[in-house]
Structure 1
Amino acid sequence: MTAATSRAAEILSRPVSLNGLTVPNRIVMAPMTRQFSPGGVPGEDVVGYYARRAAAGVGLIVTEGTYVGHDSAGQSDRIPRFHGEEQLAGWAKVADAVHAAGGKIVPQLWHIGMVREAGQPPFAEAPAVGPSGLRIGATEATGKAMTQTDLDDVIAAFAEAAAAAERIGFDGVELHGAHGYLLDQFLWAGTNRRTDAYGGDLVARTKFAAEIVAAVRAAVSPDFPIIFRYSQWKQEAYGARLAETPEELEAILAPLAAAGVDAFHASTRRYWLPEFEGSDLNLAGWTKKLTGKPTITVGSVGLDGDFIKGFMGEGSPVKSIDDLLDRLERDEFDMVAVGRALLQDPEWAAKVLDGRFDELAAYDATALRTLS
């Protein structure tokens, strides 16, 4: 092992604590939707998929997004759900297998909001709902603006899913507040046009997400970690921003931290880009500086090139992680989430931790359908 590879192993192998959970290293598996769960039930193939990556050294697995128990939460009957006897039994097997392989695992709890279209499964009669019934980029409502009853029902669904996660053996939960889905639709002025307590300024737009966090916090043990994933960008608006300044970002994050978030997962498309002018800190770095909470960075780790090109069949060359190690070493953030590189290669973490960088393969999206 060379000095460079030894440094990678040393920095990435350090344990880290998220509330009452000790994660054995700094590598996180990022959540990635695959639609391999017919009927919303994760089967034995899903059990093996996560267990293989835990066995190969991933410290913390964040599952693919899994729908909470609200009929409007999803848009596919092949994406797993985190409610229902059969579905939760499947997830319990996943958690057991990951633990047996030496890893830690949290489910990502998800409601897509206005991304849903009328008539989509798993519950075709359910309406698309959101803060104002607006899809990203739309000027007129095409869905239902949520009533107080709707808000209360979704808050309860997240809390019930979190309680179920603890009951069946998961190590924490991640709340999906990123990428233009329901919680993010409340956070962003582009989709939140409400004039009640849940709309208006930055703090008001955070109220719904903070109430979900508080309800989850009350539904689980005090030392059960709550991770909150958020982003500036949206799936249909890559240039969108929740906050233009650190002060605006703090106005969003502070109520979430106060409500019970233990760690933030700051989603960016390229982790090495600075978030605000005048500082080299990325979004996870600013999040840690402003809240004092542990943070997870993510965005093209181990890759180079725009990920859209990847899905067009253009392979992305492996990117050096020297800059990533520098940032981890100076505690800009605490953990790093790996998505596509780990999706393609279940052994990615082991190869990096063992200094086998020459065995890392370039990402090739055309091969995804054959991966497990």
Structure 2
Amino acid sequence: MAADGHPLQPDSASVAPLFAPLALGGLALRNRTAVAPMTRVSASADGHATARMADYYRAFAAGGFGLVVSEGIYTDQAHAQGYLFQPGLADHSQREAWRPVVEGVHRHGARMIAQLMHAGALSQGNRFRAGTRGPSAVRPKGRQLAFYRGDGEYPLPQAMTEDEIADAVRGFADAAARAREAGFDGVEIHGANGYLLDQFLAEGVNLRDDRYGGDVRGRLRLTVEVAQAVRAAVGADFVVGVRVSQGKVNDFGHKWSGGEDAAAVIFGTLGRLPVDYLHVTEFEAWQPAFGEGPSLAALAKRHAPVPVLANGSLHDPAQAAGMLARGEADAVTLGRGALTHADWPQRVRTAAAIAPFDRELLSPIADLANADRRQTRRDGGN
């Protein structure tokens, strides 16, 4: 890192791993740079993708990214929606609204994956149902996210019945089928960051004594069932991935009990599912997962026989390329780096300047209207 806070540009040979092609299942990617899923709360009130969203996603493809993963998309009209103005894939009209978004990404040579999300107990804005659902009646830690229009404590959820669990699984599968119909190249099951599937995995949050609780294998059962249902819904030739994390949006420092032993079980179980990749996210992807030893991405590579996408503060090209060169990941995904520069891959290729992240992009609301206003000011407009 330079003294002015800008990442130092490595030479072309050292960043070459970022630009090698990659296959995820049957999907060919032009390089190993991807846009991470980022909540932007910029859909219409009824969950339709908009023209502004199409421009936003198309810019990443035009900027050279090989893959674009969408923001979290809610899957049903019950308890999946997490945020007001979040996009959905819960009905046919929402499916149709995504078509021009995906087509714009494809026109610029990138591929696009829909991230499917059920917020569970972390829902703070749902137009369909009052109240929230989770694995157990445990109030989530922390407070609702103000930059996604939340306020105050999270409500106390009701524990899901087995019928509600079955409905949630069906919602993931139906949304995945709609994603394929809309033209997406694959789907990513959101099992990270404290949302529903991660809630079932988490000790202290999942207190169930049925087949969805207990040891780590029981707590993973819902993710397993969702992956199997999604695969059945989309067929063998459509990409399916799973996103995994330790930290959560409401419990940033969370670590898995059991350390590397738990990671071996979790990644070993997920790696045997009918999925094409795992997407592993940490605050700093290259750091040891448990204080010392391998990173979480490296542990995923060790225990899962599928490609691993690494996410977490990889906007520095040297850090991103280093993850690939060391064999800790097969591709890298960028959040803040992509928001700063939609053409990050092109800038890395040409050794152009890379600016530090502007946190005001996410304040007061982390939506595209705020980003547009800031861009106008930077360009000298009113």
Q: What is the TM-score when the length of structure 2 is the normalising length?
A: 0.86
The residue that corresponds to 2:25 in the other structure is 19
The residue that corresponds to 1:344 in the other structure is 340
The residue that corresponds to 1:315 in the other structure is none
Query: Structure 1 regions of 5+ residues with no counterpart?
Result: 303-319
After TM superposition, the structure 1 = structure 2 runs for residues 71-90 of structure 1, keeping only pairs within 5 Å, are 71-90=78-97
What's the CA shift for 1:23?
1.1
Q: 1:62 to 1:3 in 2, by over 3 A?
A: closer
Q: Is 1:135 matched with 2:139?
A: yes
The residue that corresponds to 1:289 in the other structure is 302
Figure out how many residues of one structure are paired with residues of the other and give that number.
Answer: 347
Q: Is 1:322 matched with 2:327?
A: no
- Of the candidates 155, 169, 191, which is equivalent to residue 155 of structure 1? 169
Q: Is 1:6 matched with 2:2?
A: no
After TM superposition, the structure 1 = structure 2 runs for residues 81-120 of structure 1, keeping only pairs within 5 Å, are 81-117=88-124, 120=125
AA matched with 2:166: D
Do the aligned partners of 1:232 and 1:243 also contact (CA within 8 Å) in 2?
A: no
SS in structure 2 opposite 1:49? Answer: helix
AA matched with 1:159: A
Deviations 1:24-76 (A, max 9, x none): 11101011111111121111111111111101101110001110014211143
The residue that corresponds to 2:151 in the other structure is none
The residue that corresponds to 2:34 in the other structure is 28
Cα separation, 2, equivalents of 1:277 and 1:235: 20
After TM superposition, the structure 1 = structure 2 runs for residues 174-189 of structure 1, keeping only pairs within 5 Å, are 174-189=188-203
AA matched with 1:131: P
- Of the candidates 324, 327, 333, which is equivalent to residue 329 of structure 2? 333
Do the aligned partners of 2:279 and 2:310 also contact (CA within 8 Å) in 1?
A: yes
SS in structure 2 opposite 1:370? Answer: helix
AA matched with 2:20: R
SS in structure 1 opposite 2:58? Answer: helix
What's the CA shift for 1:237?
1.5
The residue that corresponds to 1:122 in the other structure is 127
Deviating beyond 3 angstroms after TM superposition, the runs of 4 or more aligned structure 1 residues are none
Q: 1:331 to 1:196 in 2, by over 3 A?
A: same
The residue that corresponds to 1:370 in the other structure is 371
What's the CA shift for 1:9?
4.5
The residue that corresponds to 2:5 in the other structure is none
What's the CA shift for 1:370?
2.6
Deviations 1:76-112 (A, max 9, x none): 3311011223211111111111111110000110010
Q: Greater shift after overlay, 236-245 or 147-156? A: 236-245
Q: 1:330 to 1:216 in 2, by over 3 A?
A: same
Do the aligned partners of 2:9 and 2:318 also contact (CA within 8 Å) in 1?
A: no
SS in structure 2 opposite 1:234? Answer: coil
Deviations 1:209-245 (A, max 9, x none): 1000000011112121111111111122222122432
Do the aligned partners of 2:122 and 2:195 also contact (CA within 8 Å) in 1?
A: yes
Deviations 1:244-300 (A, max 9, x none): 322211212223222312211111011121114552x31111101111221111111
Cα separation, 1, equivalents of 2:253 and 2:12: 38
Superposition RMSD on alpha carbons, in Å?
A: 2.1
Do the aligned partners of 1:211 and 1:259 also contact (CA within 8 Å) in 2?
A: no
AA matched with 1:24: R
Q: 1:327 to 1:341 in 2, by over 3 A?
A: closer
The residue that corresponds to 2:215 in the other structure is 201
Cα separation, 1, equivalents of 2:230 and 2:102: 19
AA matched with 1:364: D
Cα separation, 1, equivalents of 2:102 and 2:244: 24
Cα separation, 2, equivalents of 1:211 and 1:115: 21
AA matched with 2:109: G
Cα separation, 2, equivalents of 1:112 and 1:355: 39
SS in structure 1 opposite 2:37? Answer: coil
Cα separation, 2, equivalents of 1:294 and 1:243: 25
Cα separation, 1, equivalents of 2:217 and 2:64: 39
What's the CA shift for 1:4?
3.6
SS in structure 2 opposite 1:228? Answer: strand
The residue that corresponds to 2:256 in the other structure is 242
Cα separation, 1, equivalents of 2:26 and 2:61: 20
Cα separation, 1, equivalents of 2:69 and 2:164: 27
Do the aligned partners of 1:71 and 1:126 also contact (CA within 8 Å) in 2?
A: no
Cα separation, 2, equivalents of 1:19 and 1:212: 19
Cα separation, 2, equivalents of 1:345 and 1:177: 27
